[in-house]
Amino acid sequence: MSGLRARLHVPGRLDAEVLAETGDVLAVVGPNGAGKTTLLRSIAGLLPGSGDVEVAGRSWTHPPLLPRDRRVGYVVQGQALFPHLSARENVAFGLRARGAPAREARARAEAELERLGVGHLAGRRPGALSGGQAQRVAIARALATDPDVLLLDEPFAGLDVGVAAALRTELARHLADFAGVALLVTHDAVDALTLGTRMLVLQDGRVAQSGTPVEVAARPRTDHVARLVGLNVLRDGESLMAFRPSAVVLAPSEPVGSARLRWRGRVEQLTPHGDEIRVQVLTPDGVRVLADVTAAAAAELRLAPDVALWAAAKETAVTRYPAAPAPRGPVQSG
Amino acid sequence: MSTRTTIRTTSRSVLGRPPALLWAPAAVAVVFLVLPLTTLLLATPWGTFWRDLTDPDVLAALRLSALTSGATVLVCIGLGTPLAWVLARVPFRGRGLVRALVTVPLVLPPVVAGVALLTALGRNGVVGGPLRELTGVTFPFTTTAVVIAHTFVALPFYVISVEGALRSAGEAYDEVAAGLGATRWYAFRRVTLPLALPGVVAGAVLAWARSLGEFGATVTFAGNYPGITQTMPSRIYSVYLDDPEAARTLAVILLLASVGVLALLRNRWLSTGTGPGAVA
C-alpha cells in the first residue's frame, strides 16, 4: 500500500497503530504525556527499536533505517533552527547533506522560503527572526527534502494568535499540495478540524479513538477531546452521551417537565464564553456538566462558585453512541 | 546589554548595600591577586630591559616557547576535540571512568607528570625502551619532549572545556541534522563543531596558557637545554639562580606576552554568555 502503516511500541510510553493514506493529514491529539511526540520520534527513527514502520510500501524498520535514511521532514517543537546558519543555509542543509551541489541546494532553498512567504528573510539568522518567521523557515526546511512523511509537532505553539491564524491558513494550502503523509500534533481543536483529514486521539500511550475529524468531534470518546471540542460527554452504562453546553438548562430547584436528564450539583467554575457564560457544574458523584447561559440568566440565578442548582438536558439534544472500544489500562511502564 | 544594566541597577538601588562580609574578602582577594604583579612591574630594572630582551638565549627561549605552545595547542585540538566529542556524545561502558582518568593530570603536580612521562616514554621507559630499540627514536631532551610534556598537562583543560561546550550545544541539533539526512560526520562538521566553537577557542586559550607557563614536567622530562628544550619559564628559573634582577625582566616579558594574547582574544571570544542558546 502507499502511505504510512506503523505499529509502534515504546515500552512504558506508547503502543499504537497508525494508518494513513498518501495525501492524508493525520491530526494527532491527546493530553500532555499521551505519547504524541514519542509517536513522531518513533516514526523519525529517533527512538531505538520502537516497532514497525512501512512507508510507500517500503519498510523502515526491517532492516532498521537510520533517521538520516528515512524520508521524513520533522518540524520539532521550538523549530530548532541551526542558530549559526542563515535561513537559506538552514533550508539548504538537508539537500547539501544528501549531496546536492551548493548552487542547486541554494536555489531550491530560496524557492522553498519564497513559497512559505519568507523569501526576503533568506539571509537572516534564526536569532533575527520572529517566532512565526522561524516556524515558516522550519517548515520550509522540512519540505525542502521532499519527504514522504511530514511530522509537525505543535507548529502553532507559542505564536501570537494572529500569527498562528495566518500560518494555519497557509499551512493548509501547503498540506493540500503535499504529496506524502503528514502527521500534525496539536492541542487545538481548530487545527485538527481545519487541517486534518483524519484524526488520531492518543491517551496514556494508546489510540483512544480514530476517524475523520468530524466523526471524532461529534462523538468524542475521551474527556480530552470532549473538552477540546467543547462538548459534554457522559458515560451512560455501555454508551456515551454527547450534548452541547447550550442544550443544558440551569434551574435553582429540581426541574419539572420533559427533561429526563437531570443532575443536582454545585457551580464549580464560571468562565466567559463568547457573549455567554460557561458554567461547570460538579455533581456529588464527580460528574461534570457544562452549561452555557446568558449573562442575564446568570444574574437571575445568582450564579457564583459553590451555588447549589440543577442542570437538565432534553433527550432530543443528546447523541448516544457506543463507548467501545472497551477502555484499556494505561501502557504498563517498563 | 540592557538586561545587564537593569540587573545592576536593581541590585544597587532596590536590594540594599552589598554586605561587608562579602565585599571585604572580595577586596582582599583582588589585592592579593594584583599586588605581586604590580610589584613585579615596579621592581623590574627597566634600564636594562631591551638588552635583557634581545639576549640570544632569551630570544631562543621565547622562540621555543612560542613554537612549543603553538604545537601543543594544535595537538590538543587534533586529539582533544574528538575525545571531547566521544565523551559528550557516545554513551559507552566506563565513560565516567575515562572522563575521570583524563582529568587526573589537572590535579597532578607537574613534576610528577614529568616523572610519569619518563617511565612511559623515557629512553628505558615501558614504551620508550622498545621504541628506541626498534627505531632508534628517543624523546627525552628533545623539543618533541617539550611538546609531549606540555600536551600531557594541557590536554585535560582543553577536553573539559570543549566537552562542556558540546554538551551545552545540545544533542537536539544532532537529531535535527540526522532527520535532514546528515551523516554523523557531516553533522559534526556543519553543526556540532561550529556551535561549540566558543568552547573550542576557550579551551585552546586555556591549553596555550597552561603550556606557556609549564615548567615542572618540562624540566623533568625534557630537560633545560638552551635552544632545544629551554622554554621561557625554564630560562627564568636558570637566570634567577644567578641574577634575580634579570629574572624579573624575563618574568615581565612572559607576563606581557600572556596578558597581551588574552586581551586580544577576550573581546572576540572569551566574553561570558555569548554561547549558542539551548534548544527547547
Taking the Cβ of residue A72 and every Cβ of chain B, the question of whether any pair is shorter than 8 Å is answered with yes
Of all residues in chain B, the one with the smallest CA distance to A97 is: B182
- Please count the structural domains in chain B: 1
Taking the Cβ of residue A98 and every Cβ of chain B, the question of whether any pair is shorter than 8 Å is answered with yes
Range of the domain at B155: 68-229
User: A34 pLDDT exceeds 80?
Assistant: yes
Nearest-5° Cα angle at A280, A216 to A302: 145
Mind telling me how many Å the CA of A121 is from chain B's nearest CA? 21
User: A109 pLDDT exceeds 90?
Assistant: yes
Taking the Cβ of residue A64 and every Cβ of chain B, the question of whether any pair is shorter than 8 Å is answered with no
pLDDT value at residue B8:
53
Residue of A66, A70, A80 with shortest CB distance to B176 = A80
**CB contact (8 A) between residue A67 and residue B179:** yes
Distances, alpha carbon B157 to alpha carbons A13, B76, B200, B216, in Å: 40, 9, 11, 17
Taking the Cβ of residue A94 and every Cβ of chain B, the question of whether any pair is shorter than 8 Å is answered with yes
Q: Which of A58-72, A113-127, A188-202 has the highest mean predicted lDDT (pLDDT)?
A: A113-127
Residue of B175, B181, B183 with shortest CB distance to A46 = B175
List strands edge to edge, sheet with A149-153. Answer: A58-59, A51-55, A4-10, A14-20, A206-211, A198-203, A25-29, A181-185, A149-153, A72-75
Average confidence score pLDDT of chain A = 88
Q: What is the pLDDT averaged over residues A190-199? A: 89
CATH class of the domain defined by A4-218: alpha beta
Q: To which H or E segment does residue B99 belong? A: helix B95-107
Please state which architecture CATH assigns to domain A231-322. Answer: Beta Barrel (2.40)
User: B277 pLDDT exceeds 60?
Assistant: no
- For chain B, give the percent of residues with pLDDT over 90: 53
pLDDT value at residue B204:
93
Of all residues in chain B, the one with the smallest CA distance to A151 is: B179
User: B125 pLDDT exceeds 90?
Assistant: no
- Rounded Cα distance between B47 and B44, Å, is 9
Taking the Cβ of residue A158 and every Cβ of chain B, the question of whether any pair is shorter than 8 Å is answered with no
**CB contact (8 A) between residue A98 and residue B280:** no
Q: How confident is the model at residue B279 (pLDDT cuts 50, 70, 90)?
A: very low
Taking the Cβ of residue B264 and every Cβ of chain A, the question of whether any pair is shorter than 8 Å is answered with no
Taking the Cβ of residue B269 and every Cβ of chain A, the question of whether any pair is shorter than 8 Å is answered with no
Question: B143-152: per-residue pLDDT in tens?
Answer: 999 999 999 9
Question: A250-269: per-residue pLDDT in tens?
Answer: 988 888 776 578 899 999 98
- Rounded Cα distance between A333 and B5, Å, is 49
Hey, what's the cell of A197? 483529514
Residue of B173, B178, B280 with shortest CB distance to A67 = B178
Q: How confident is the model at residue B177 (pLDDT cuts 50, 70, 90)?
A: very high
Going by their DSSP bridges, the two strands A149-153 and A72-75 should be labelled as parallel
Query: Would you list the domain boundaries of chain A?
Result: 4-218, 231-322
Q: What is the pLDDT averaged over residues B241-270? A: 80
Q: What is the ipTM of this complex?
A: 0.79
User: B280 pLDDT exceeds 70?
Assistant: no
**CB contact (8 A) between residue B186 and residue A97:** yes
Phi, psi of A45 (to 5 degrees): 85, 20
User: A27 pLDDT exceeds 90?
Assistant: yes
pLDDT value at residue B13:
65
Q: How confident is the model at residue B123 (pLDDT cuts 50, 70, 90)?
A: confident
pLDDT value at residue B272:
47
**CB contact (8 A) between residue B280 and residue A68:** no
Where is pLDDT greater, at B64 or A323? B64
**CB contact (8 A) between residue A82 and residue B176:** yes
Question: A214-247: per-residue pLDDT in tens?
Answer: 888 888 888 888 888 888 888 888 888 889 998 8
Going by their DSSP bridges, the two strands A25-29 and A181-185 should be labelled as parallel
Are A113 and A137 contacting, i.e. CB atoms less than 8 angstroms apart?
Answer: yes
- For chain B, give the percent of residues with pLDDT over 70: 90
Mind telling me how many Å the CA of B78 is from chain A's nearest CA? 23
Task: Judge whether B57 lies within some domain.
Answer: no
Mind telling me how many Å the CA of B277 is from chain A's nearest CA? 8
Residue of A76, A82, A98 with shortest CB distance to B181 = A98
Of all residues in chain A, the one with the smallest CA distance to B180 is: A94
pLDDT value at residue A259:
59
How many C-beta atoms lie closer than 10 Å to residue B20's C-beta? 9
Q: What is the pLDDT averaged over residues B244-270? A: 79
pLDDT value at residue B3:
45
Task: Judge whether B25 lies within some domain.
Answer: no
Q: What is the pLDDT averaged over residues B120-142? A: 88
Q: To which H or E segment does residue A282 belong? A: strand A276-282
Q: How confident is the model at residue B162 (pLDDT cuts 50, 70, 90)?
A: very high
Residue of A44, A78, A96 with shortest CB distance to B179 = A44
**CB contact (8 A) between residue A84 and residue B195:** yes
**CB contact (8 A) between residue B173 and residue A73:** no
Average confidence score pLDDT of chain B = 86
**CB contact (8 A) between residue A73 and residue B194:** no
Residue of B173, B186, B190 with shortest CB distance to A80 = B173
Mind telling me how many Å the CA of B177 is from chain A's nearest CA? 8
How many C-beta atoms lie closer than 10 Å to residue B277's C-beta? 12
Of all residues in chain B, the one with the smallest CA distance to A69 is: B181
pLDDT value at residue A48:
75
**CB contact (8 A) between residue A97 and residue B190:** yes
| A140-154, B160-174, B265-279: least confidently modelled range | B265-279
Hey, what's the cell of B70? 603553538
Question: What CATH number corresponds to the domain at position B97?
Answer: 1.10.3720.10
Taking the Cβ of residue A270 and every Cβ of chain B, the question of whether any pair is shorter than 8 Å is answered with no
User: B10 pLDDT exceeds 60?
Assistant: no
pLDDT value at residue B26:
96
- For chain A, give the percent of residues with pLDDT over 70: 96
Task: Judge whether B156 lies within some domain.
Answer: yes
pTM of the full predicted structure? 0.80
pLDDT value at residue B89:
92
Residue of B172, B180, B183 with shortest CB distance to A93 = B180
The contacts of residue B121 (CB under 8 Å, 6+ apart) are B127, B128, B131, B139, B140, B145, B148, B221
Q: How confident is the model at residue B273 (pLDDT cuts 50, 70, 90)?
A: very low
Task: Judge whether B154 lies within some domain.
Answer: yes
- Rounded Cα distance between B108 and B96, Å, is 19
